[in-house]
Amino acid sequence: MLVRLSALPDHGAALAALEDIFFLSTLRKDFASAEERTAFLRTWTGWYVERAPDDVWFALAEDGTIIGYLTGCKDSAGALDLARIIPKYEVFADHFASFPAHLHVNVWPGFRDRGVGRALVDRFAEDCRADGLPGLHLVTGVFARNVSFYQRAGFTAATQRGALLFLGRRLD
């Protein structure tokens, strides 16, 4: 089942699950302090939870356990404050008109390769399409392990700039 953050009764538990999944998924594991670890989490999830909670989706297992999440933004060009938070946010700003929405998705390791991530991406894409958006995108590393996942999920427009890879999915 897919549920928006705003529809979950216990936001604290949902955000704790998001944090657990985030740190199980990120390549960075070492932090100098608890504060640095918290700041890293906030960099990649905080804005979305605070400013776009209706675009934060959770995947729940049959028993209600949170097994994945997606954070999204439907107006990348209008969210310029993200450029102060996320490194290199504006590198692909010239693509924001064609692919205005962006996303970040992670799934609990034991539930990967079962369609959970794809379901989250497709749900957010449906929302974006219903809002009349022409496309959505994400930015990852050129050699990141997630590139093939996104390509299978319909992200076919690709632009490389340095070590970064822009992947776009048309919705119209």
- Interval 55-89: pLDDT, tens: 999 999 999 999 999 999 999 999 988 888 888 88
Q: Which domain holds residue 124?
A: 2-170
Torsion over CA of 107, 108, 113 and 119, rounded to 10 degrees? -40
Q: How far is CA 125 from CA 30, 43, 78, 109, 163, in A?
A: 33, 23, 18, 23, 26
Q: Is the pLDDT of residue 146 over 90?
A: yes
Percent of the chain with pLDDT over 90: 90
**pLDDT score for 81:** 87
Distance CA 17, CA 23 (A): 10
**Dist. CA 96–CA 24, nearest whole Å:** 30
Q: CA-to-CA distance for 106 and 90, rounded, in angstroms?
A: 22
For residue 33, what pLDDT band results from cuts at 50, 70 and 90?
Answer: very high
CB atoms within 10 A of CB 66: 20
Average pLDDT, the chain: 95
Consecutive H or E run containing 104:
strand 101-107
Residue range 17-36: average pLDDT?
Answer: 95
Please tell me the total count of domains within the chain.
1
pLDDT of residue 91: 93
Segment 104-120 mean pLDDT: 97
pLDDT at 164 over 90: yes
- The span from the CA of 53 to the CA of 35, in Å, is 24
How many Å apart are CA 160 and CA 5, to the nearest integer? 32
Question: Given this model, what pLDDT does residue 82 score?
Answer: 87
Using the CB atoms, write b or e for 73-96: b if 16+ within 10 Å: bbebeebeebeeebeebeebeebb
Q: How confident is the model at residue 1 (pLDDT cuts 50, 70, 90)?
A: very high
Domain containing residue 84: CATH number = 3.40.630.30
Specify whether the CB–CB gap between 52 and 81 falls below 8 A.
no
